[in-house]
Structure formats: structure tokens, C-alpha cells
Amino acid sequence: DQQVKQNSPSLSVQEGRISILNCDYTNSMFDYFLWYKKYPAEGPTFLISISSIKDKNEDGRFTVFLNKSAKHLSLHIVPSQPGDSAVYFCAASGNSADKLIFGTGTRLQVFP
Amino acid sequence: EADIYQTPRYLVIGTGKKITLECSQTMGHDKMYWYQQDPGMELHLIHYSYGVNSTEKGDLSSESTVSRIRTEHFPLTLESARPSHTSQYLCASSEYLSGEGQDTQYFGPGTRLTVL
């Protein structure tokens, strides 16, 4: 049973537009959420995180929104750039704060 | 951000061979992890360590073993490789972010293992 779900395996967005990647979770004990970006044959790169005491965290072009009641978080990238094309993983952790549970990823393609 | 190194980046090996995947970090992080990932799938934790001489199995059962003799080094060993071990292996270490009050994991570049 997957505790972290990324239901969209792929997303295609035009350069300059907003990219919205979604993630749902089932475990109400999760209290820390992270987004990672991964290029093929490379390790994931940490992008941004949010703890459950917040509903929004922003870092440059990246903003993560957390809706605890819906058990849903989203990553907004604006404006999208071709270099953002990669697989984005959502991850969550709970009481055992450093055991991350990952989603299956969403492949983002930003075209000119 | 952590500096984590993994070698080799790519390895193609025959069935039955013993292999060791190397992972080192230079940040002095106590916590280190090994994940396994297949294409289109999530990362699965297979081993973790909270410090020297501490190793634990992760959520995904794995025939590999690990050791943690030095803080900076966390190698993974397969005694007898099989085609089912073909995967990408990712090493990570974690840093406590005081602003978030949480550990955040940083990953190495990974080793893509192919067992023929």
C-alpha cells in the first residue's frame, strides 16, 4: 500500500508557464515533506521542504504548498525553464524523522 | 548541502561475483542511507546507519550487507550478484536543518548496477 502517491507520471509545460506537480499521502503521522529533482543516471537533488506547521514554503522559483486536511501537497515552479525537465519525487517522513517514504515520481518536460 | 561520492558510477558484472559499492561523504554526517531504485518506481530504503558500528535494515528486503567502520564511509556489499540485483543504488547522508527542525537527506550520484 503506497503511502505517498504521485498520480501523474508525466507533465508537459511550455517554457515560462507554471508547472504544478502534485503529491498525496495517506499517513497522518507524516510531518515533514520534501521534493527532489532527479536527472537520469544521477542521484536525487534536494529542492525544497516543508514541515507540517506551515502551509507554504518558497525558495526562488519553487513554492511548496501543504494542505494537511486533504493530505495533499504540491510543488509550483514558475516560470518553468527547459532545465527543469527531470523527474520530481515527493517524499515524506514521520515519527522516525529520517526514514523517507518516496512517491513514484512525475516526469516534467518543459518545452520551448 | 552534502558532498557525497559513489563509485563506481556504472558496473556491469557476471552472476555470482562479489561486489562492493562505495559511498563516502565529507560532511561528518552521522546518518547515512542506501536506497534502491528501479526505473519509474519509488526509491526504497534498504539500509541505514546512525553512526559508526550502527547498521540497520530498511523497509525493502535486500541480500546486500553494509558496514560503518568510519563516519565518512558506508560501503554496500553483494556476496553473490544475481540478475535480480540489477538496479540503481543511491547513497545518502542527512543533515539537521534547524530552520525546519528536521533531518534532510542529500544523495550521491548513484551506482547503476547490471548483473548479467
> How confident is the model at residue A56, as a pLDDT?
96
Please name the residues in contact with A54: beta carbons below 8 A apart, sequence gap of 6 or more.
Answer: A66
Q: Which residue has the higher pLDDT, A93 or A36?
A: A36
Contact residues, chain A, for B40 at CB < 8 Å: 9, 104-105
Cα–Cα dist B44/A2, whole Å = 12
> How confident is the model at residue B97, as a pLDDT?
67
> How confident is the model at residue B39, as a pLDDT?
84
Q: How confident is the model at residue A45 (pLDDT cuts 50, 70, 90)?
A: very high
> How confident is the model at residue A110, as a pLDDT?
98
> How confident is the model at residue A64, as a pLDDT?
98
Q: What is the pLDDT of residues A100-112, one digit of tens each?
A: 899 999 999 999 9
CA-nearest residue of chain A to B56? A99
Kindly state the average pLDDT of the residues A74-81. Answer: 98
Please name the residues in contact with A60: beta carbons below 8 A apart, sequence gap of 6 or more.
Answer: none
Cβ separation B107–A43 shorter than 8 A: yes
Block mean pLDDT (10 aa), chain B, length 116: 87 96 94 92 92 90 92 96 95 78 86 96
Alpha helices in B20-82 (DSSP H): none
Cα atoms found within 13 Å of the Cα of residue B97, Cβ hemisphere only: 20
> How confident is the model at residue A40, as a pLDDT?
84
A55 phi/psi in degrees, rounded to 5: -120, 0
User: Following CA atoms A46, A44, A37, B97 in sequence, which dihedral angle do they give, to the nearest 10 degrees?
Assistant: -10
Residue B9 has what DSSP assignment? Answer: S
Q: Is the confidence at residue A96, as pLDDT, over 70?
A: no
> How confident is the model at residue A98, as a pLDDT?
62
Please name the residues in contact with B4: beta carbons below 8 A apart, sequence gap of 6 or more.
Answer: A43, B23, B24, B25, B91, B92, B93, B106, B107, B108, B109
How many structural domains comprise chain B?
1
Q: What is the pLDDT of residues A4-44, one digit of tens each?
A: 999 999 999 999 999 999 999 999 989 899 999 999 878 99
Q: For chain A, give every domain's residue range.
A: 4-105
Which residues on neighbouring strands pair with residue A35, listed in sequence order?
Answer: A48, A90
CA nearest neighbour of B22 among B46, B10, B2, B6: B6
CATH code for the structural domain at A4-105 = 2.60.40.10
Kindly state the average pLDDT of the residues A40-62. Answer: 92
The enclosing domain of B105 has a CATH number of 2.60.40.10
**Which residue among A9, A49, A103 sits closest to B100, beta carbon to beta carbon?**
A49
Cβ separation B104–A104 shorter than 8 A: no
Please name the residues in contact with A7: beta carbons below 8 A apart, sequence gap of 6 or more.
Answer: A22, A24
Radius of gyration, alpha carbons of chain B: 14
The domain in which residue B18 lies consists of 4-115
